[in-house]
Amino acid sequence: MTHWPLDKFHGGIHPPENKSQSNQGNIQYPPLPKRLIVPVLQHAGQPAEPCVEIGNYVYKGQLIAQNMTAISASVHAPSSGTVTAIGPAPYPHQSGEPYLAIEIHTDGLDLWQEPTPEINPSTLTSAEIFHIIQQSGIVGLGGAGFPTAIKLSGKIMSGIDSLIINGTECEPYITADDLLMRERADKILAGVDILVQLTRPKNVLIATEDNKPEALASMQAALGSRAYQVVSIPTLYPSGGERQLIKILTGQEVPSGSLPIDLGIICQNVGTAEAIYNAVVLGRPLISRVTTLTGTALKQPMNVECLLGTPIEELLEFAGLDKQQLSKVIVGGPMMGFSLGNLAAPVIKTTNCLIAGTAQEFPSPEAALPCIRCGECEQVCPSNLLPQQLLFFAMGEQHEQLKAYNLPDCIECGACAYVCSSKIPLVQYYRAAKADIRQHEQKMAKAEHAKQRYELRQERLRLEEEQKAAERQARNERLARVKAAQEQAAKQEAQQAQSTGSISDDELKHLKIAASMAQVALRKAEKQLALHDTEALQTQVASLKDAAKQAQDALAAAQAQLAQSWATSSPAAAPDEALKKAKIQLAMRRAAVKKAEKAETDEASLNSLRQALQQAQQQLEQLNQTHAKASSTENTSTEQKTAAVPISDAMKKAKIELAMRRAALKKAEKAGASADELTQLQLALSEAEKNLAQVSSPNNPG
């Protein structure tokens, strides 16, 4: 519903209208240009992709660049002719940079590909209409150039609240929509009918400013029995801004960061409505538009229906350009348009006005004076911002403050700069600040990404380190297992070979080698540690120390076992041999102890070696005794045998426990248990290992 009486937006200005120069005559048709420069980007969004090649003949209205992405619009040949170039060409943009365009040399025939019959849109489904609009390259012709199909997709499916047809044309100088409404009201309304069919709005509001009485009358006359409201709103810049117009007509404000469709409102320009009529009913894609040619450097200001791609200079010459007088050409209105760098640039879909201004009309800007905070800008801001505060924050690059003072809600209408008594180019500051903020945010996003990457890398390195540590531990465990197995094997052998008294010397050798290797590794690591004192090395040394100790222990245990086995083995079978062996053993142990003492082995292993030595001595003594007693000692072996039974039982138990613990640890590791749980399990495992070692140690009574 129209909010009645009409609402107001904050501020607004009344710049000199300068519309009467160009709205006196009818819409003119300039001659067909020899050369058309058709850029592939004539709208807001992504460029279309050329689908013709150099040398191709194209018909009028033939697709020459296809919209490939979501926010894009197709481009069609404005006239028939030959494609002569595809590449960077002059482009109407603030930057003055060239842009990819398709150049067509027209053949003067202006040939359509094939005649299409007029279609009655009521026979089409919504999907078909939508498809036609999408394929016809239609964009908002008010100046922003947003692809129309996108505006008409999404939330509109369930029907909308209001369809607003924007014929306000609030910028000074521009009269294109004015003339269009005067001359082609029926076509505009036919286009609106199609939009209504597509969006099923509850209300249709056609708005124009009250400085266009002829256009208003023409629209009202063409209305017929349609239930659309044609609303005349007070002339005030920038009433034609989408958000401002919605506020005026409905009293609603489009929330910051939202779109009109979120309120169930769609705004379309009157020119867009006509383009939709042309596309759907006549089958003609968007290849021309009405553009205002004005400014005091033109002898005959006028409105023209011109082909897209027509070089701007040709158009201005058609309107009687006086090059001596020309000081600047503005594309769009004087409030929001941009000054053109290159007159060879073509007219594109968004070019609603070309102002050829003289130096008197658009004097070069005066030097700006300091802001005195007079607040006039604040009085006129249609977004109700505080432009003077924004200026200070923009100059100080205070991005947080700029955002807190809602810089993103600035529509860059230029009202503040228009009234500024210090002639400060405020909008320029805001644009720069917005670009700065965008850039800064991109940089921050990049930095955040880099940080995440770094953290992930650190995590990866940590995991690798952990894995290595786990592998080390696993190696040690394996070693311990081997040791245990060897011990067991030695024991069994000892038991089996009680009579023979032979223990596997090979195993002992292996253990010795392992122990000495561990010692060597430890030395090496200690040297490294002395050179580079890092945490990693420290832990490595510690673990190596453990490993060395374990190896030594294993060796000592094996030797002790060997001694025991000798002690328990029956000397009767080969008493001489046993005696010999024991002697050799004793000597070896002595040497080992000496060596260990020299090598400054830690006390525990030294002790165990000494113990082993002692045992060997005892053994030897025993052997000597038994040798002397000879036959009388035959029973001792059987006694020893029975004594061995409970030991092996306990060992079995310990082994089973160890295996269980190991399995539990593995399981937990697989299940991704927490570090705490894992260490607990590991502790339990090592305890079990210790148990087993104790049980299997022949010195142990249990």
Partner 1 sequence: MYLPPKSSPHTTNKSSTQNLMLRVILATLPAFLVSSYFFGIGPAINVALCIIFAVSIEAFIVSLRKRPVSYALKDGSVIVTAVLLGLALPPFSSWWLVLIAIGFAVIFGKHLFGGLGQNPFNPAMLGYVVVLVSFPVAMTSWPAPQTVASSDALAHVFLGTPWLDAWSHATVLDTLKNNHSLTLHELWQDYPYSGWISSNSSEWINLAFLLGGLYLLYKRVFTWHAPVAMLLALALMSLIFWNGSGSASNGSPLFHLFSGATMLGAFFIITDPVSSATSNQGRFIFGLGVGVLVYIIRAWGGYPDAIAFSVLLMNLCAPTIDYFTRPRTYGQRKAKRGFNPGDN
Residues 75-94 that bind partner 1 (CB under 8 A): 94
CA atoms within 13 A on the CB side of 154: 14
Task: For partner 1, give the closer residue by CB, 332 or 575.
Answer: 332
Task: For partner 1, give the closer residue by CB, 130 or 392.
Answer: 392
Binding partner 1 (rule: CB under 8 A), the pick from 91, 99, 277, 405 is: 405
Task: For partner 1, give the closer residue by CB, 396 or 702.
Answer: 396
Give 69-125 as a DSSP string. Answer: SSS---EE-SSSEEEEEEEEE---STT---EEEEEEEE-S---BSS------GGGS-
DSSP at 650? H
Answer yes or no whether residue 175 interacts with partner 1 by CB under 8 A: no
Binding partner 1 (rule: CB under 8 A), the pick from 276, 308, 330, 437 is: 330
Q: What tokens appear for 468 in the block?
A: 């290595």
- Closest to 334 measured CA to CA, from 299, 307, 358, 369: 358
Amino acid, res. 648: S
Smallest separation (angstroms) from partner 1 to the CB of 687 = 58
Distance of CA 12 to the CA centre of its chain: 40
Task: For partner 1, give the closer residue by CB, 331 or 695.
Answer: 331
Task: For partner 1, give the closer residue by CB, 244 or 272.
Answer: 244
Answer yes or no whether residue 105 interacts with partner 1 by CB under 8 A: no
Smallest separation (angstroms) from partner 1 to the CB of 24 = 22
Give 75-89 as a DSSP string. Answer: EE-SSSEEEEEEEEE
Smallest separation (angstroms) from partner 1 to the CB of 237 = 10
Neighbour-count burial of 414, counting CB atoms closer than 10 A to its CB (0-12 exposed, 13-18 middle, 19+ buried): buried
Neighbours of 444 (CB within 10 A): 10
Binding partner 1 (rule: CB under 8 A), the pick from 61, 414, 501, 575 is: 414
Answer yes or no whether residue 20 interacts with partner 1 by CB under 8 A: no
Answer yes or no whether residue 189 interacts with partner 1 by CB under 8 A: no
- Contacts by residues 509-512 (CB-CB < 8 Å, ≥ 24 positions apart): 510/486, 511/483, 511/486, 511/551, 511/554, 511/555, 511/558, 512/555
Q: Which residue has the tokens 């000692």?
A: 633
Task: Name which of residues 242 to 271 contact partner 1 (CB under 8 A).
Answer: 243, 247, 253-258
Residues 106 and 33 sit within 8 Å (Cβ to Cβ): yes
Answer yes or no whether residue 442 interacts with partner 1 by CB under 8 A: no
Task: For partner 1, give the closer residue by CB, 9 or 228.
Answer: 9
Task: Name which of residues 632 to 691 contact partner 1 (CB under 8 A).
Answer: none
Task: Name which of residues 541 to 580 contact partner 1 (CB under 8 A).
Answer: none
Task: For partner 1, give the closer residue by CB, 84 or 406.
Answer: 406
Binding partner 1 (rule: CB under 8 A), the pick from 45, 98, 320, 341 is: 341
Total binding residues toward partner 1, as defined by CB under 8 A: 77
Q: What tokens appear for 476 in the block?
A: 């040690």
Answer yes or no whether residue 174 interacts with partner 1 by CB under 8 A: no
Answer yes or no whether residue 329 interacts with partner 1 by CB under 8 A: yes
Smallest separation (angstroms) from partner 1 to the CB of 382 = 7
Answer yes or no whether residue 343 interacts with partner 1 by CB under 8 A: yes
Answer yes or no whether residue 144 interacts with partner 1 by CB under 8 A: no
Answer yes or no whether residue 385 interacts with partner 1 by CB under 8 A: yes
Answer yes or no whether residue 396 interacts with partner 1 by CB under 8 A: no
CA terminus-to-terminus distance, the chain? 98
- Closest to 180 measured CA to CA, from 196, 193, 169: 169
Beta bridge partner(s), residue 441: none
Directed axis angle between helix 387-395 and helix 426-496, to 10°?
50
Answer yes or no whether residue 320 interacts with partner 1 by CB under 8 A: no
Task: For partner 1, give the closer residue by CB, 12 or 191.
Answer: 12
